[in-house]
Amino acid sequence: MSQTNDPAPSSPRRGRLITLEGGEGVGKSTQIGRLLQRLRDEGIEAVATREPGGSEGAEILRRVLLSGVVKPLGPAAEAILFAAARIDHIDALIEPALAAGIWVVSDRFADSTRAYQGGAGSLDNRLINALERTALGDLQPDLTLILDLPPGEGLRRAAARRKDADGVDRFEGEDLRFHEAIRAAFLTIAADNPQRCVVVDASASEVEVAAAIWTAVSDRLLKERELDRAHGS
């Protein structure tokens, strides 16, 4: 929890939270590797993490959630467990890193609950909003990159990456309509939050996607950081 002598959220001493979102196999992990390298090349200390997971407790919940054992309990139970994992992730990793001036790049975050349990799972927005308020408090990503790809292509990429067909997880195994609903939900999130979200065409080559991501990071975060520095704040 923040204390009165913590740096203000916009202070250059506080890190930035960047989240990558999108459906299955859109290229988030691939791009996070590239983005981390670019940030470090700029002299920015940055750490990569993921959801569900990123902390010891959240990784335990990841195994439970992706095994599918919670599916019969319905999207509300799943959303509550994703939120529990998120709380541990924020407390154990995200907030301490940001407070230390480290940038955090997360493979998925709260928008995934909105898209998967809300958009595709039809979970009531009131529960999603309540869980988000509880888990995040005042924390919001400084930038969310939504990698957009037709789900058929994303699932093909995910299948090609995974040689073992038995390795399909809880959500990859859902039908195409479910994945179309996820894509639509992410695009709605982006339209509703233009100050935070940038949609990136993930059907382009890895290099082109990386360039689009870097443009968004530069325009939205690096210029602001340079201005802060120039004004000595």
Ligand X SMILES: Nc1ncnc2c1ncn2[C@@H]1O[C@H](COP(=O)(O)OP(=O)(O)OP(=O)(O)O)[C@@H](O)[C@H]1O
Q: Which residue ranges make up the annotated binding site for ATP?
A: 22-29
- Is residue 90 within 8 Å of residue 139, measured between CB atoms? yes
User: Does residue 48 bind ligand X (CB under 6 A)?
Assistant: no
Q: Dig out the tokens for 101 from the structure.
A: 């001036």
Which of the listed partners (ligand LXEULUCI, ligand X, none) does 30 bind, with a CB threshold of 5 to 8 Å by partner kind? ligand X
Structure tokens at 89: 């992730």
Q: Which of 51, 88, 142, 148 binds ligand LXEULUCI (CB under 6 A)?
A: 51
Nearest to ligand X of 138, 175 (CB atom): 175
Residues sharing a CB contact under 8 Å with residue 46, sequence separation 6 or more, in sequence order:
15, 36, 39, 40, 102, 103, 104, 105
Q: How large is the greatest C-alpha to C-alpha distance in the chain, in angstroms?
A: 55
State which residue, 44 or 131, has the beta carbon closest to ligand LXEULUCI.
131
Nearest CA to 148 among 93, 95, 189? 189
Site for ligand X in 182-221 (CB under 6 A): 205-206, 209
- Of positions 171, 183, 197, 212, contacts ligand LXEULUCI by CB under 6 A: 171
Q: Is residue 52 part of the contact set for ligand LXEULUCI (CB under 6 A)?
A: yes
The rounded distance, in Å, linking the Cα atoms of 150 and 146 is 13
Residue 185 CB, shortest distance to ligand LXEULUCI, in Å, is 11
